[in-house]
Structure 1
């Protein structure tokens, strides 16, 4: 048999990529996420108007050629505010999820690797956090800290720390007793080396899926808290605050709230579809 006829096995990364791009919903989710990220990065170049500039003469206009999504109570262009609002939503979600992953990942890795009293202590702390609904915990923290971008980011990060600790702990438990970990341990590898070089890298699959889903939850949380007036303060173009601004005019000028609501829906849908597709692609039990 010639070398050309030998079919080499696919690497795990290539197999996962092929499975992902064979999933139509995953591709749609990826495109939606890339669209929102592109709007956030290129907002200064693609936004037709200044998002915070007051134009009283143009107030409460419907969709038109000059204002594709209309204007709000103060004459500000809704499309421009939605484009710039993507920066706030993505910044809060990425920063909060990163903080939650760093803290929750560290706690989960320690609990799953050492077990014993360390595991018991950390898991009871996460049980306390999980006893509160995430949105109520974030509201309580913001009531104590006050509103604003950074306090909002910190509140969402604290609310998401416990779920990340649970996911990382479960992933570490699956990896710590594998043969390659035991072989490294028998060769004298330290706990730190085992965690960072062997256990955690082989636990990235479920953690990556959890990250994409938590990004969607963080965007929803940011919008809900901004709607309540606890997030980024006006005149910053936060999507939740935009919905709140248009609430008194739902019967006459519904597009003021509908437009940012659609932006939130499509962004969250994109991350959810992306996370579902990644979960299926990274599942080693799927042999397609």
Structure 2
């Protein structure tokens, strides 16, 4: 990290983000349970939804983080914004909104803090486990204080892979990847919330997450958490992700010979 940035204030940001993510996540879960099918859902595009819960969560995160750290900047999925030189919060208030709407608990709150082109802090509220996963660069990944470690899998026939697919990318390419995994004896899932998918790699529940195109707020917190847990992680530079999105891959290090080809098809280098 740059010497211009005080590590103590990074710890303060981490503590604040953890508390805010937990509270906002639990409030969103409570709201979903109370509203049920009466959720006010807007359609932003094909299979791209937003609810009042998303908007309220982002507003809360914005107000509370910027009240504590007024010189920071903020980029949110719902309200936009622009990252500044002083440091930026990159936030997805509910990652996996479609899952949230339907009552499938694979969704979360994703908060990343970036400084000078790098992700320095990642925090994800995991709704399925009602807990917060976090990482500060260089200090490991943790779920509520318990250290996380990527899986030690080395046999591809024991691997579980989680894949995402964006309608902005080729479905034929997605099918080619599925076929390759199938031929190597691997099992796979599509769960629909990248931040949580990356956390599953970090905690060793899955051995791979890959999606050809995501927005920065979908991946940054989870990617740092996976990397700090020992997974191999690759994604484009932060400036590209903030302007146009891009691919991300995270996988168990013992399966690198099986998954390194994804770096090539995604045009990626590991971080």
Q: If the length of structure 2 is used for normalisation, what is the TM-score?
A: 0.28
Q: Which has the higher contact order (CA 8 A, sep 6+)?
A: 1
Higher Cα radius of gyration: 1
User: Which of the two has greater helix per residue?
Assistant: 1
User: Which of the two has greater strand per residue?
Assistant: 2
